Chains A and B, each alone.
Chain A
């Protein structure tokens, strides 16, 4: 690779991380360009591990990482360029939202006046001006999520790393956060956003990285990834319900459904579909229409398809 791309990308080169004997991530190779990148995988798949390594909170057991050409071992350079909102929903005690942002800007080395201006600008961006003078301890989950977002972007970094930033936001705040990511990305930033729900980030991402069990399963343009996975491997979905034959007749009307098989004991239906997202939508409609009692919907394969199904399934995130 040229130094040119190194200087504008986030690079993982054969990176592995073991926590003792526990695998965090294995043999990760990534080169992330600017724009919004969705890092998607179920809980425990290694998203936080990857992100924490990117910013030096933990060190890789093997391999190399660089962010815009800077290694995580150079905090003085790295954190002028990088803002990180971790998944830890924790704050230094006793501070107001404003003090929280302002204090760490001072730690950056900004003067009192600069820090004040930048803190208010960041607080405004996440829409927390009104509660900014109150103690963070009294914030709602969504407010805490947003004040951490403000903390990550207050020093105007070129790379934003956000670990599950949409978690705990109500739909309104979520839409605002997404608009903010878009705005930042359009300004040429890297915005790397993790989520355990694919459909939460797929529409806003310029590229996605799918991770499962510590391995990168797929990466690239979201459309390509989705097409490739679905064209080649219809996914199986197991639906536990009453009246499976009624459900089977209904789902067969859908052209993305390849197969629908009633389970031996009649306690459910096994569906193969090329478009799991659409299937889930249709399933909802059918349930509304017929009143079929659905007990559970789950991916049925043990392989990569199942993972992908899990990832894209509209129920995937509800653990």
Chain B
């Protein structure tokens, strides 16, 4: 009766069953997307906010439609760094990644995964990948949308000059990279905290505060924050005000490798934690 099983049992080839893991990962991502994120109004609201701010700025921009440099500063400082990166993407990562495991302990459906022939480590990775797909899908789009809206009211020849013959598209690409790395980094942080705290609110507040006072921190402490590396990858420098502690920005490759390494370590610790996790649903 298990002839169907036999066709998909792993280990036909020697070594690790990568093919099996890959199809399981895809199946988990598919299921997570199916049940988890379809009606997340909170996320949608967050995603709409940066374009909304950009649209508000449009009204102001009408006065001087040739000031592309001014628009670039507004997008870099207010719209992207202050708002999108530090608030919107941050909160979205708390919501998305902080709830990857927690939501399922609350609705008592996590055990269905634990009762499948899936390594728990793979489950964590698959959930993290789902979070990345959702967060980058949403906030990558948001970044592009806000960028487009910011420059929309300006003189079209000046804008196309800026985009196609100037640094414009390069800026956009960098912002997308930063958005992706922000999801990667904050995502890993809140996935990780999900295993140590019952609610993501407390750690989120603490991290938010820490990242918020980042500009006041001495150089050494700056290095233990996510924003430090994200900021260094932003294409347009933004003044942090007179109180800021100046420090050398890390080289781009240091930031990228550093954030990826952080993500790998935190996901690995999460994977190790979930191996010992028990389903009691008691404290939920």
The answer on A and B forming one complex is yes
Interface residues in A87-116 (C-beta closer than 8 Å to B) = 88, 90-95, 99, 103-104, 106-111, 114
- Complex partner residue of A114 from B8, B9, B10, B276, CB under 8 angstroms: B8
> Counting CB contacts under 8 A, is B115 at the interface?
yes
Q: Which residues of A contact B280 (CB under 8 A)?
A: 19, 58
> Counting CB contacts under 8 A, is B27 at the interface?
yes
Instruction: Report if A107-B28 is in contact (Cβ < 8 Å); known contacts: A78-B117, A118-B4, A187-B1.
Output: yes
Of all chain B residues, which has the CB nearest A85? B115
> Counting CB contacts under 8 A, is B248 at the interface?
no
Q: Which residues of B contact A110 (CB under 8 A)?
A: 4, 8
Task: Find out whether the CB atom of A59 lies under 8 angstroms from the CB atom of B9.
Answer: no
Task: Find out whether the CB atom of A95 lies under 8 angstroms from the CB atom of B2.
Answer: no
How large, as a class, is the contact surface on chain A?
35 or more
Of all chain B residues, which has the CB nearest A152? B115
> Counting CB contacts under 8 A, is B165 at the interface?
no
Of all chain A residues, which has the CB nearest B1? A156
Encode B100-115 as 1/0 by CB contact (under 8 A) with A. 0000100111011111
Q: Which residues of B contact A59 (CB under 8 A)?
A: 276, 278
Cα separation A77 to B20 with both chains bound (whole Å): 13
The count of residues in chain B whose C-beta lies closer than 8 Å to any C-beta of chain A is: 37
Interface residues in B1-44 (C-beta closer than 8 Å to A) = 1-2, 4-5, 7-10, 20, 23-24, 27-28, 30-31, 34-35, 38
Instruction: Report if A114-B4 is in contact (Cβ < 8 Å); known contacts: A56-B114, A57-B114, A57-B278.
Output: yes
Q: Which residues of B contact A156 (CB under 8 A)?
A: 1-2, 4-5
Task: Find out whether the CB atom of A79 lies under 8 angstroms from the CB atom of B117.
Answer: yes
Q: Which residues of B contact A83 (CB under 8 A)?
A: 115
Of all chain B residues, which has the CB nearest A110? B8
Q: Which residues of A contact B113 (CB under 8 A)?
A: 107
Which 8 residue pairs across A and B have the least CB separation, nearest first?
A90-B108, A106-B27, A79-B117, A57-B279, A92-B109, A103-B31, A58-B278, A107-B27
Can you pick out 5 interface pairs between chain A and chain B where the beta carbons lie within 8 Å of each other?
A: A79-B116, A79-B117, A95-B35, A114-B4, A156-B2
Chain B residues near A (Cβ < 8 Å): 1-2, 4-5, 7-10, 20, 23-24, 27-28, 30-31, 34-35, 38, 104, 107-109, 111-120, 276, 278-281
